[in-house]
Amino acid sequence: MIQDTPVLIRRLPHAEGLDLPSYETEGSAGCDLRAAVDEDLVLQPGQRALVPTGLQIALAPGTEAQVRPRSGLSSKHGVTVINAPGTVDSDYRGELKVPLVNLGQETFTVTRGMRVAQMVIAPYLRALFEERNEPLPESLRGEGGFGSTGA
Ligand SMILES: O=c1ccn([C@H]2C[C@H](O)[C@@H](COP(=O)(O)OP(=O)(O)OP(=O)(O)O)O2)c(=O)[nH]1
Ligand SMILES: [Mg+2]
């Protein structure tokens, strides 16, 4: 089942001439985000940068956008999204940016229009917190975690 959701998008002057986020295949969950850099952006090993996309979006209420790494960039170059998955709130109207980091051992150059990350739109739930001053409902797992079930 594919559900489409409207996303208003606005291109800022520095994204002039760049393609909008694109789904590369019919079944792609993520649309690729392009770097709206005017000049090459060189990331030395260990260096990070907030890469502009030159785009603003307005998401439908109840939806978020997740900014995720591209597996090709991360597996071939060690370049990833440092806050992955980044969260774009439905009420955010600023420029979409991608906090990239070069965890590889070589210099990596971000060029204009390079597809540096992907964005997945997802519905979210908000918690209605109900504070309890008594033990929470019992469960099989209980307090076990962090490897409690074995390797
Ligand atoms: O990869 C990302 C992550 C976030 N954002 C934008 C959209 C999001 O709505 C806003 C705030 O993100 P977040 O809540 O993760 O950051 P924060 O450090 O908590 O900032 P704030 O105090 O503004 O919420 O920054 C991006 O453009 N790219
Ligand atoms: Mg926040």
pLDDT score recorded for residue 14: 98
Calpha distance 83→94 (Å, rounded)? 17
Q: Measuring CA to CA, which residue among 125, 114, 117, 142 is closest to residue 90?
A: 125
Nearest-CA residue for ligand 1 atom 25 is 88
What's the whole-model pTM score?
0.95
Nearest atom within ligand 1 for CA of residue 89 = 9
Residues flagged as binding site for substrate: 70-72, 83, 87-89
Q: Measuring CA to CA, which residue among 77, 65, 78 is closest to residue 32?
A: 65
Residues flagged as binding site: 70-72, 83, 87-89
Q: What is the pLDDT averaged over residues 41-57? A: 98
Work out the angle at residue 61's Cα, subtended by the Cα atoms of residues 115 and 116, and round it to the nearest 5 degrees.
10
Nearest-CA residue for ligand 1 atom 14 is 87
pLDDT score recorded for residue 3: 85
Nearest atom within ligand 1 for CA of residue 99 = 1
Q: What is the pLDDT averaged over residues 118-146? A: 97
Residue 113, Ramachandran bin (φ over 0: left; ψ between -120 and 50: alpha; else beta): left
The single-letter DSSP state of residue 39 is S
pLDDT at 1 over 70: no
The single-letter DSSP state of residue 115 is E
Each residue's pLDDT tens digit, 68-107: 999 999 999 999 999 999 999 999 999 999 999 999 999 9
Tokens of 148: 């409690």
Question: Residue 88 Cα, ligand 2 centroid: separation in angstroms?
Answer: 9
pLDDT at 131 over 90: yes
Q: Measuring CA to CA, which residue among 120, 124, 125 is closest to residue 63?
A: 124
Nearest atom within ligand 1 for CA of residue 81 = 1
Mean pLDDT estimate for the chain:
97
pLDDT score recorded for residue 42: 98
| Alpha-carbon distances of 145 from 115, 137, 139, 149, rounded to whole Å | 37, 17, 13, 7
Q: What is the pLDDT averaged over residues 41-69? A: 98
pLDDT at 20 over 90: yes
ipTM above 0.95, yes or no: yes
Q: What is the pLDDT averaged over residues 112-137? A: 98
Residues with CB under 6 A from ligand 1: 67, 83, 86-89, 92, 96-99
Please classify residue 96 by burial: count the beta carbons closer than 10 Å to its beta carbon, then call 0-12 exposed, 13-18 middle and 19+ buried: buried
Nearest-CA residue for ligand 1 atom 3 is 86
